[in-house]
Amino acid sequence: MAALRALLLLLAVGAQAAIRFAKEPYSQDALHGRSAILRCEVEEPAHVEFEWLQNGLPIQDTEQRFKEGSNLQFAAVDRHRDAGSFQCVARNVQTGEEARTANASFNIKWMETGSVVLKQPASAAEIQPSSTVVLRCHIDGHPRPTWQWFRDGAPLPDGRGTYSVSSKERTLTLRGAGPDDNGLYYCSARPRAVGSVCSQDNFTLNIIDESFPQAVVVPEDLIVTKNEEAMFDCQFAAVPPPTQEWLFEDSPITNRSKTTVFANGSLLITQVKARSTGVYKCIGHGQKGKALVLKATLRLAEIEEMAPFSPKVLTANQGHRVSCACPRGVPTPQVWWERNQERVPTAGRVYQEAEQLVFTSITEADAGIYTCHAANKAGEKKQELSITVATVPKWVEMPKDSQLEESKPGYLHCLSKASLKPTVTWYRNGVSISEDSRFEISENGTLRINNVEVYDGTMYKCVSSTPAGSIEGYARVHVLEKLKFTPPPQPLQCMEFNKEVTVSCSATGREKPTIQWTKTDGSSLPSHVSHRAGILSFHKVSRSDSGNYTCIASNSPQGEIRATVQLVVAVYVTFKLEPEPTTVYQGHTAMFQCQAEGDPVPHIQWKGKDKILDPSKLLPRIQIMPNGSLVIYDVTTEDSGKYTCIAGNSCNIKHREAFLYVVDKPAAEEDEGPSSHTPYKMIQTIGLSVGAAVAYIIIVLGLMFYCKKRRKAKRLKKHPEGEEPEMECLNGGTLLQNGQTTAEIQEEVALTNLGSSSGASKRHSARDKMHFPRSNLQTITTLGRGEFGEVFLAKAKGAEDAEGEALVLVKSLQTRDEQLQLDFRREAEMFGKLNHVNVVRLLGLCREAEPHYMVLEYVDLGDLKQFLRISKSKDESLKPQPLSTKHKVSLCTQVALGMEHLSNGRFVHRDLAARNCLVSAQRQVKVSALSLSKDVYNSEYYHFRQAWIPLRWMPPEAVLEDEFSTKSDVWSFGVLMWEVFTQGEMPYAPLADDEVLAGLKSGKTKLPQPEGCPSRLTKLMQRCWAPSPKDRPSFSELAAALGDSPADSKA
């Protein structure tokens, strides 16, 4: 029983140890000299070792053939060594079991070159004319290649009767070979696997037959000068003697006045001209064989002018090479260099190498005039080269630390010398001062500060440079501050009677000055007047306090200075009677009352429709009464508008505004006769109108109050601090103010002012005033498309003045969408109400037909985005103007001032970006609203919630909650600053729109600091991007911060 178990165990072990091949070597093609591999792998490689056999014998590893793992690797297959069969043997070292693969072999493809040999006759000496010549090609390979025979480089075509080709024997048989068969014979074999191979040692067949013409004298190519003679020598030999002729342009040459053919075969050409040049053929004819043609070319000698040299400046103590371009000529001219009419040698410190002038180490003594000569048979040409040797500047007088007096000219010296006049550049705090008009740099390098200021006390650097190098010098300036008032006191100042008033006086100097106040007449100050630290305090101003007062500032090194101030005691202007809004019928009389008091007695003026009303130029129906009232008789709708009473004296001015509304008489009233104009009916009509208006106002105010409560509750959820976001009037906005859009509130206010049609009448008259004739527009080019329609550039006649033409921007309304039509009207109203140097002006409206046009101011350089890109461009054809940090700050400041004006008018832009600002050649920037979202700047807009929005310029609350305000414009302004300092790059350029949106939601997306942007301005941008709108600065703060920002802040 135990024996049976042992037997079963052995069988089980044997079954487990059976060797099975996963990969076996197989027969394959191989190229002689190329690598190959035979693979052998088993399923269970544990305890298995491999051995390779060739023709049954073990293979030893060599550099060309070795075992790599279980595979057999061939670095270069050899057709002799690697012929035969290969077998892989796998052996289990524990059980001793062995398995063998089937035999595999290589089909080795090879090709060996060889020579062309003479097979028949036995030697070349035995070759006779008209005998048979057999040539054999000793190129062989596997598989058997195909052969091709060549003579003198040309393939021998098949099917000729004079020779035959045997592929089997690899032979070429020439039957009846003669001199016509002479030439160099070689063969080429083309195998199926590799490229063609040519024979190495080839055979030259040269059969001599005396009856064939043989060249004895071969004519040579000739180059002669014009009108010189040319002689071609040519001679043939044969038995019997050959005949000979000359051809020129395939026409026979005979003895003429300028050509002579001699008996010995030579050709003489006298007075060679351009028409004589070309190829001449000397032809020999024998009794047998082909005619022998010998060619020679006749050319006229010529040489072109040499290209002139530009003067060269070479750096001293360095090696230099100067090339002289050889002019084209026949024959090729010879080139050499001369200095002082002597040839430059071919060796030494200064030498000539081919056509180059070489300086191994140039010195100042090598400077001067060098001449390049080129000559041939046609003549000689030359060009002079001026070489200047530049040395590094040396100091004559270095800049020195200096003390300069304030308000006087100051000088810093920087004197140097070199072989070339050095170029001097001055830097102030590392910034070049070449563009600053406050400084002048003289020819010798001295810096003049025209008027020394306190802030000129800093470090200056002078750089003196030539092409050979530069030197630097530093000087620190200490400004000796003068004794001065900061600021100078105003010479005439007013004090309000019976009020507490202070008058300030401050000064600075090299030492802190002492400041005192005295009365100019020498009398002492009254008891209720005191002064301390330069502040003169009046505890209660009386009439007797009028007079001249002197502020004295003094210190020991500089003495004293004085400033006299005349103080005037006045009663400031107050209104006793203020003008009130007035509504009258057309043709009736309107009166605005205005009375003011003060000491001196105030003078009253009136301003109507933004113009001062001059009493001497008023229409007869408009009068300003002695008591200050304004009376307008027989009023018309043209008189509607704002009227301002201005009351002022020498100390202050105050004004009050009131509106005049002119309405049409009711139709019923116009139809009745004079007897029906009863006071009762008038009172009844007015009472009903006022009652309806009051009721409407109450309803509107109730709705506003209700909506405000709902909105406040909503905001309290968003703002735990209870702070309410700013409410602003929007340009085509959706921002709610007390539950209503601002446009709706404005329309309601206009209606409720009169309770009648006067508001509509007023708006209609305003539109008539802005009307611009469509026929005065001449289209120049389309700029692009926006939400409203096409935006194009046009010439407008009479836009700026009555006669001239102006370049204008025209936005067209080509949509039927009611919301977009409303937005278009709101945008026109916004620009119509704005008046600022940094905001484009609305010049007119074309509404008499469709499409409606909005005519806006345009400036010459187009939008700011393109201007920034061009200034960054390296394309010289665009003539880019580099922008300094100072220029970039100026651009941002102007946009901030324009946006400050928008925000003061309670308008929100909603699409502030560089593409929506215009810039002039004087670099004046104007905020506009091109909004070319459809084509030109389509990539800068993102389709979100059925609208195209400038996603990369918008804050999170505007994108996600549709909440726009001045503070959302501030965020966009920060992105615009980033555009200016990157010169027009796309914000978040590496990110897709969806990634930008996700970043805004998470608050993790940030714009990087622009290269070269001062850190102070980067921090200002980051304040604009504060997550909470209330933490962002106002445009007034931004304009002030940018105005104070120095261009050379530390980056």
Specify the CATH superfamily of domain 214-300.
Answer: Immunoglobulins (2.60.40.10)
pLDDT, position 934: 61
pLDDT, position 744: 35
pLDDT, position 181: 84
pLDDT, position 380: 94
pLDDT, position 819: 82
CB burial readout 688-697, b (16+ within 10 A) else e = ebeeebeeeb
Instruction: Give which of 1014, 1015, 887, 1048 is closest to 433, Cα–Cα.
Output: 1048
Cα–Cα distances in Å, from 921 out to 95, 387, 703, 928?
Answer: 96, 42, 51, 17
1044 assigned to active site = no
Nearest-angstrom CA–CA distance, 864 and 870: 10
pLDDT, position 160: 67
pLDDT, position 805: 80
pLDDT, position 365: 92
919 and 864 Cβ atoms separated by less than 8 Å? yes
Topology (CATH level 3) of domain 578-669: Immunoglobulin-like (2.60.40)
Topology (CATH level 3) of domain 394-480: Immunoglobulin-like (2.60.40)
Cα–Cα distances in Å, from 158 out to 150, 205, 228, 308, 317?
Answer: 11, 20, 51, 60, 71
Which H helix or E strand runs over 975?
Answer: helix 966-982
Q: Do domains 113-205 and 862-1051 have the same CATH topology?
A: no
Domain boundaries, given as residue ranges, for the chain = 17-110, 113-205, 214-300, 303-390, 394-480, 484-569, 578-669, 684-752, 771-858, 862-1051
Nearest-angstrom CA–CA distance, 1042 and 974: 12
Residue where the block lists tokens 């081919």? 354
pLDDT, position 947: 83
Nearest-angstrom CA–CA distance, 922 and 123: 96
pLDDT, position 1003: 87
pLDDT, position 723: 39
The residues, ordered by sequence, that sit 6+ positions from 383 with a Cβ below 8 Å of its Cβ are 306, 307, 308, 309, 324, 371, 372
The DSSP string of 339-352 is: ETTEEPPSSSSEEE
523 and 563 Cβ atoms separated by less than 8 Å? no
**In which residue ranges of the chain is pLDDT below 50?**
1, 4, 6-16, 668-681, 714-766, 1047-1051
Instruction: Give which of 121, 41, 30, 7 is closest to 77, Cα–Cα.
Output: 30
What Rg, from alpha-carbon coordinates, does the chain have? Answer: 52
Q: How many CB atoms lie within 10 A of CB 379?
A: 13
Pick the CATH number of 17-110 from 3.60.110.10, 2.60.40.10, 3.30.565.10, 1.10.357.10: 2.60.40.10
Instruction: Give which of 798, 801, 802, 804 is closest to 776, Cα–Cα.
Output: 798
Nearest-angstrom CA–CA distance, 932 and 913: 12
Instruction: Give which of 693, 1039, 776, 763 is closest to 895, Cα–Cα.
Output: 1039
- pTM for the full model? 0.40
Please identify which of the residues 911, 935, 1031, 1044 carries the catalytic annotation: 911
The residues, ordered by sequence, that sit 6+ positions from 459 with a Cβ below 8 Å of its Cβ are 428, 429, 474, 475, 476, 477
CATH number of the 862-1051 domain? 1.10.510.10
Domain 113-205 class?
mainly beta
Domain with residues 303-390, CATH architecture: Sandwich (2.60)
Domain 484-569 class?
mainly beta
pLDDT, position 751: 24
Pick the CATH number of 771-858 from 3.30.300.180, 3.40.50.300, 3.30.200.20, 3.30.70.890: 3.30.200.20
CB burial readout 770-792, b (16+ within 10 A) else e = bebeeebbeeeeebbbbbbbbbb
pLDDT, position 690: 67
Phi, psi values for residue 178, rounded to 5°? -140, -175
Nearest-angstrom CA–CA distance, 383 and 371: 6
pLDDT, position 689: 62
